[in-house]
Structure 1
Amino acid sequence: MKNTDAVSAFLALGQESRLNIFRLIVQKGDVGLTPTQIIEKLGIPNATLSFHLKELVQANLLLVERQSRNLIYRPNAALVQDLSAFLLDNCCGGKSCSPAKMTRKVTTA
């Protein structure tokens, strides 16, 4: 992934409403959501939602498909995976990032 692609995605997610919209759509996965469903869940005005959805689609974070009279928005899973890999590339100097197991000290009263 190129830095410019990652920056574009992060800029789109750097706005609270867009982040909330994206998270809601990601929760639905392949099923996706219509704008009406998003409005019902988040209470965002239609014109505002259209603007935010357009930004998320332009950043390639969402895929949109027309089904009859409805638009269905789904997460672009490939990009989400690429972003995760981009962020974690060379994480922890190539060593395991999981912390060493800690033992819990049990005390008796």
Structure 2
Amino acid sequence: MDNANAVVALAALAQESRLAAFRLLVQAGPAGLAASRIAQALQMPASSLSFHLKELTHAGLVAPRQEGRFVIYAARFDTMNTLLGFLAENCCGGDPCATSGTPACSPGATSCGT
């Protein structure tokens, strides 16, 4: 991932409704959710949700697919993981940090390897 793609992905997530939708889709897993279920869960009008899902799709963070009359949206875990890797790739000056068996970038880590 390059800086430009990272900025697009981060900008898409830097809005409360889009972040909530993306987190919901991450929880749903690869099966995804119908747009109507997302709107219901987030208590959001369909027109607003459509705009937010379009932004997440443009950023490559979600993928829509047609199933009958429904559009199902699923998180793109490959893009999410690539973004996370891009953000952490220079952790600890680029040196491997998992000497203690715990990645430095894991939740609760306060410094390299702790």
> TM-score, structure 2 length as denominator?
0.83
What is the alpha-carbon distance in structure 1 between the residues aligned to residue 9 and residue 44 of structure 2?
21
For residue 65 of structure 1, report the CA deviation from its aligned partner.
0.4
Q: Name the amino acid aligned to 2:49.
A: L
The answer for the alignment partner of 1:86 in structure 2 is 86
Correspondences of 1:91-106 after superposition (within 5 Å): 91-93=91-93, 94-96=95-97, 97=104, 98-99=113-114
Identity of aligned residues (%): 43
> Is 1:37 aligned to 2:37, yes or no?
yes
> Is 1:22 aligned to 2:22, yes or no?
yes
SS at match of 1:63: strand
The answer for the alignment partner of 2:5 in structure 1 is 5
The runs of at least 4 consecutive aligned structure 1 residues that moved more than 3 Å come to none
For residue 90 of structure 1, report the CA deviation from its aligned partner.
1.5
Structure 1: segments with no counterpart, 5+ residues: 100-109
The answer for the alignment partner of 1:106 in structure 2 is none
Higher relative contact order (CA 8 A, sep 6+): 1
Larger Rg: 1
Give me the CA root mean square deviation.
0.9
> TM-score, structure 1 length as denominator?
0.87
Structure 2: segments with no counterpart, 5+ residues: 98-103, 105-112
